[in-house]
Structure 1
Amino acid sequence: MRRNLRSIVAAIPALLVMACALGPDYHRPETKVPAAFRFEPTATTESFADQGWWQVYQDPTLQSLIREALDNNLDVRIAAARIEQARAVLGSTRLQQLPQIAASADAQRARTSVDQRVPGVPAISNVFSADGSLSYELDFWGKYRRATESARAGLLASAYAKQDVMAGLVSGVATAYFTLLTLDEQLAITQHTVGTRQKFVDLTQAQHERGTVSGLDVATAQAQLAIAQATIPDLQRQIGIAEDQLSVLLGRNPDQILRTESSQLTRVLEPAISPVPPAGLPSSLLERRPDLRAAEQNLVAANANVGVAKANLFPSITLTAAGGSESSALSDLFRGSTRTWSVGAGLLQPLLSPQRNLYQLELADAQKRQALLQYQQSIQTAFREVSDALIARQKYAEFQVAQQAQVDAQRRANTIALARYRVGSASYFDVINADRDLFTAELSLSAAHLNTLLSLVQLYRAVGGGWQTEQSGKSAPDPTPDTTGLTPDSPSASARAP
């Protein structure tokens, strides 16, 4: 019997070599990739996304807020928990490829009926046993190998999903920060305008008392003052909402965002609007954006599940072995004469099973087609987001330059109109119109500057930047993240945006 057991064990490697993994092997689907992004001035291999977020956002206050958000934000922590779940699923799936081992021990004391007792056998008997068993299902059709492949892809998808959450968080904090800066600036503009209009109301009232202007001029000046004053509560409301939004992104409860010592958030101003950063080649976007890598890993998992469904249609081949001891006396349990053993092999062919049928294969095929379409849709969406961000950066910058010229002209016009009004060379309505146009132009310039900043944030996010960590000192994504660590590693950057 031992010779037969050795023969069975020796045959296992040969059977495994002959075994095959059913289902299609994964190959990245062909995708129509343009040679360059639309609205890209000059296509280049360098990409804006090769820089870390701390290199793009050089405002110290903003950097501090982003670090706090990455440490405390709940979305990032949830994504990390999902990675741990996926890692546990992978570990559990891998165990299916190993023999199942169990051990048992049993003690029993029983009394036999007088009618059933064999003469000479005691009425009360004891039975002690200790057994070990081994069961191994040959992965002849590759069911468990495909399941492991699917679980590994799920882990990679979770890791890439966390990177995408981090990139979105960096973008969200930058957006909220720049929005809060702009609202502070617009509030300061409005408060300055209120102060200016209050002085003009006082001046108009004094002239009315001297009889040089009519009551209509006084009422018009007071109405313009009220318009500016009414803008302040609305701006304060927007500031409160922006602070709450930023607080939640930082992992805090809604609260006030503390300003600097000057009571204003500092803004790093550029001496001139910088050129549009390079977006890189569209083909590299498939390797750079974490959301696209996650979508591809979902496709890999769906492809492997097709193999699992196919393998389930074929027979399961199981080898079993058991051995132990059984004795009526505990002291004799481990003597040679009490040993027991058994070996066996089994084959199970499903004929009618809710878990192993052609419908399950059709389901896996449909899920694979869905994952493929979602992957292709994600690629198209990514190309559109980059193109939109490029045109937004270009045109918002041009609009900001034109708006700055308008503000400069309106300031000169306002100064001239007020000077002429004081000497009686201009009408009151000239002053009112100039002041109103200046106020509107200054608010529009502030909004234009915000749009220019946000277009930069959107472009950096669209080309796949923002997920990098400062500790690694690396700024380009790793196409194959480490499935044993919490987050994928990333190789060093090979390019830098100017």
Structure 2
Amino acid sequence: MKNPIAFPLLLTPLLLAGCAWLAPEYKRPVMSLPATWGNTPTVVRDTSAWWQSYNDPALDQLITQALTGSDDIALAKNRLGQAQAQYNYAFANQLPMLSVTGTDAYGKFANGQVNAMGQTFHFPGKTSNFGFVGGMLNYELDLWGKNASLSNAAKAGVHAALYAQAAARLSVAAGVAQLYFSLRALEDNVALLEQSVQTQDALLALVQRQYDVGAVDAITLQQVTEQRDAVHATLPDIQDQRDRAQSALAVLVGQSPREIVQTALPHGPDIQDLNIPAPTSPLLPSSLLERRPDIAMHEQMLIASDYNIGYARAAYFPSISLASLAGVNNIDIDNLYRASSRSWTLGAAMAAPVLDFGRTESGVKLAKTGRDEQIVLYKQSIRTAFKEVRDALLAQNTALAREQGTQGRQNAAQQRLNLTDLRLRQGYASQIDVLAARASLQQAQILCVNARLQRLNASVDLYKATGGGFQTSPMPGERGKPHKKTAP
């Protein structure tokens, strides 16, 4: 071999392949988790399209539309694209870079002139072109795992962006479901209030006639009037809430401005006819760490922070770069294909920090404090998740008891109306008694609708708190045990 240094330099990447990395080994923070959920209701069944368990085609249509048209999901998808591009850049930075270089000079050269590369050219002294075309290969030896740490941090960032997108999908789906249920409840309340307005108007008209003939006193008339006015005042507010809920739902599912103004949203069955998923076997509390996309996202950010420490520590050590140049040159650039000579060079450069006034130390400290912050955020996400599951379990139990209570009140009011109507036909009650019983029934029906809404919202909260249909599993062969999504 003509160049004795070339062979050792070519073997250097292989000799350094076993060098230790400076990034700390990732260990998942340990937290004390409960063994069971206690004496709370069981968790709803696990399904990727959990909203289909309500058996409402209109809800399925809206959530499907939202998952493709929501701005929140579009932003999460864009952030995923940014993270992927950042990883591709960091990964490519570990590989050699090949570039093409060329020069063209015009002038007069003397015999035996030596060029910048130490090559001697013998040609008659005349004015002519001198050209060179070649390729250059640059490669930085990753002795301390600096570029590898940066690449792995970016890969963890991609995983975090994937989980963030899953969390956005879960949040949007839950938001659409709860807003849709609220809209259905408001529509039922408007219909019941409109009936109640008619009942109160008829009741006031009868009491007014009785007051005119002296059958009732002024206090009774005033009480009935106040009841009528209260119902009339409530109706516009509920109608306004219904219209606002419809607009908010149209925005959440990603409708265009024209559709928001002109297009009506689909309607499914009555809110009282909507199915509420039956509980099944409970999940173990420890499995929540694998089922919540936000927890998985924070863990990936914690993994990335470990690699950031390795990248910062590498600045303490020298960096070595290899460069190779090979090409052809000719005294006449027009006849470059008939090269008068060929040349190549292979060199190495090293740069080591001597005095940086604490710059590297500050970078390492910044990376460590960043990891400490991610540990806090990771633990906080776990605490928040367990709080939300516990609250959702308790809320579901409370909502069920409330709905059963209001249903009993509605049944009693219906029985009262039936008995009052029977007494009216037998001459033992008046039309005023019937209207009063009907008004009481309508109020009980409104309470039932609201209780049903709370129970539906509690079931959605439980789906959301337990991660919906999201499930993670370890990715084999990856340091730090990052996770991947296995269900949408």
Which bin holds the TM-score, normalised by the shorter protein?
Answer: 0.7 to 0.9
Contact 1:49 1:464 in 2 (8 A): no
Contact 1:164 1:290 in 2 (8 A): yes
Contact 2:150 2:308 in 1 (8 A): yes
Relative distance call for 1:135 and 1:326 in structure 2 (3 A) is same
Equivalent in the alignment of 2:336? 333
Contact 2:176 2:249 in 1 (8 A): yes
Amino acid in structure 2 at the alignment position of 1:490: T
In the alignment, the residues of structure 2 paired with residue 425 and residue 268 of structure 1 have an alpha-carbon distance, to the nearest angstrom, of 37
Q: How far is 1:125 from its partner?
A: 3.9
Equivalent in the alignment of 1:20? 20
Relative distance call for 1:208 and 1:259 in structure 2 (3 A) is farther
Equivalent in the alignment of 2:408? 405
Contact 1:40 1:279 in 2 (8 A): no
Equivalent in the alignment of 1:495? none
Contact 2:21 2:145 in 1 (8 A): yes
In the alignment, the residues of structure 2 paired with residue 392 and residue 26 of structure 1 have an alpha-carbon distance, to the nearest angstrom, of 37
Q: How does 1:198-217 map to 2 (within 5 A)?
A: 198-214=201-217, 216-217=219-220
Contact 1:24 1:303 in 2 (8 A): yes
In the alignment, the residues of structure 2 paired with residue 16 and residue 304 of structure 1 have an alpha-carbon distance, to the nearest angstrom, of 19
Relative distance call for 1:193 and 1:445 in structure 2 (3 A) is same
Equivalent in the alignment of 2:102? 105
- Are 1:445 and 2:448 matched, yes or no? yes
Q: How far is 1:8 from its partner?
A: 2.7
Contact 2:319 2:351 in 1 (8 A): yes
Q: Select 2:87's aligned residue among 76, 87, 90.
A: 90
Equivalent in the alignment of 2:36? 36
Q: RMSD across aligned C-alpha pairs, in angstroms?
A: 3.3
Equivalent in the alignment of 2:67? 70
Contact 1:193 1:228 in 2 (8 A): yes
Q: How far is 1:187 from its partner?
A: 0.8
Q: How does 1:407-446 map to 2 (within 5 A)?
A: 407-413=410-416, 437-446=440-449
Q: Matched residue of 1:193: which SS?
A: helix
In the alignment, the residues of structure 1 paired with residue 295 and residue 322 of structure 2 have an alpha-carbon distance, to the nearest angstrom, of 43
Using structure 1 for the length normalisation, give the TM-score: 0.84
Amino acid in structure 2 at the alignment position of 1:406: R
Amino acid in structure 2 at the alignment position of 1:258: A
In the alignment, the residues of structure 2 paired with residue 121 and residue 416 of structure 1 have an alpha-carbon distance, to the nearest angstrom, of 126
Contact 2:389 2:466 in 1 (8 A): yes
Q: Matched residue of 1:49: which SS?
A: coil
Q: How far is 1:206 from its partner?
A: 3.6
Q: How far is 1:429 from its partner?
A: 9.9
Equivalent in the alignment of 1:258? 264
Larger mean Cα displacement after TM superposition, 326-335 or 421-430: 421-430
Q: How does 1:282-361 map to 2 (within 5 A)?
A: 282-335=285-338, 337-353=340-356, 357-361=360-364
Q: Matched residue of 1:136: which SS?
A: strand
Q: How does 1:265-284 map to 2 (within 5 A)?
A: 265-267=268-270, 269=272, 276-284=279-287
Q: How far is 1:245 from its partner?
A: 1.2
Q: Deviations over 1:234-280 (max 9, x none)?
A: 001101111111011110134466266xxx64236469976545440
Equivalent in the alignment of 1:130? 133
Q: How does 1:386-397 map to 2 (within 5 A)?
A: 386-397=389-400
Q: Deviations over 1:324-364 (max 9, x none)?
A: 22332125535564222221112110234489611100000
Q: How does 1:44-193 map to 2 (within 5 A)?
A: 48-110=45-107, 121-122=125-126, 124-193=127-196
In the alignment, the residues of structure 2 paired with residue 55 and residue 427 of structure 1 have an alpha-carbon distance, to the nearest angstrom, of 49
Relative distance call for 1:379 and 1:33 in structure 2 (3 A) is same
Equivalent in the alignment of 1:243? 246
Relative distance call for 1:368 and 1:183 in structure 2 (3 A) is same
Q: How far is 1:478 from its partner?
A: 4.7
Contact 1:50 1:465 in 2 (8 A): yes
Amino acid in structure 2 at the alignment position of 1:30: V
In the alignment, the residues of structure 2 paired with residue 447 and residue 234 of structure 1 have an alpha-carbon distance, to the nearest angstrom, of 15
Q: Deviations over 1:184-232 (max 9, x none)?
A: 1111111111111122223233434555344554444333222111111
Contact 2:199 2:439 in 1 (8 A): no
Amino acid in structure 2 at the alignment position of 1:246: L
Q: Select 2:372's aligned residue among 359, 369, 372.
A: 369
Amino acid in structure 2 at the alignment position of 1:286: L
Unaligned runs of 5+ in 1: 113-119, 468-475, 493-498
Relative distance call for 1:344 and 1:10 in structure 2 (3 A) is closer
Contact 1:87 1:155 in 2 (8 A): yes
Q: How many residue pairs are counted as aligned between the two chains?
A: 466
Contact 1:247 1:255 in 2 (8 A): no
Q: Matched residue of 2:37: which SS?
A: coil
Q: Matched residue of 1:4: which SS?
A: coil
Equivalent in the alignment of 2:121? none
Amino acid in structure 1 at the alignment position of 2:138: S
In the alignment, the residues of structure 2 paired with residue 257 and residue 38 of structure 1 have an alpha-carbon distance, to the nearest angstrom, of 47
Q: Matched residue of 1:287: which SS?
A: helix
Q: How far is 1:288 from its partner?
A: 1.2
Q: How far is 1:427 from its partner?
A: 10
In the alignment, the residues of structure 2 paired with residue 479 and residue 465 of structure 1 have an alpha-carbon distance, to the nearest angstrom, of 19
Q: Matched residue of 1:312: which SS?
A: helix
In the alignment, the residues of structure 1 paired with residue 196 and residue 274 of structure 2 have an alpha-carbon distance, to the nearest angstrom, of 26
In the alignment, the residues of structure 1 paired with residue 50 and residue 65 of structure 2 have an alpha-carbon distance, to the nearest angstrom, of 14
Using structure 2 for the length normalisation, give the TM-score: 0.85
Relative distance call for 1:356 and 1:155 in structure 2 (3 A) is farther
Amino acid in structure 2 at the alignment position of 1:34: P
Equivalent in the alignment of 2:113? none
Contact 2:413 2:440 in 1 (8 A): yes
Relative distance call for 1:387 and 1:38 in structure 2 (3 A) is farther
In the alignment, the residues of structure 1 paired with residue 339 and residue 2 of structure 2 have an alpha-carbon distance, to the nearest angstrom, of 16
Q: How far is 1:36 from its partner?
A: 1.3
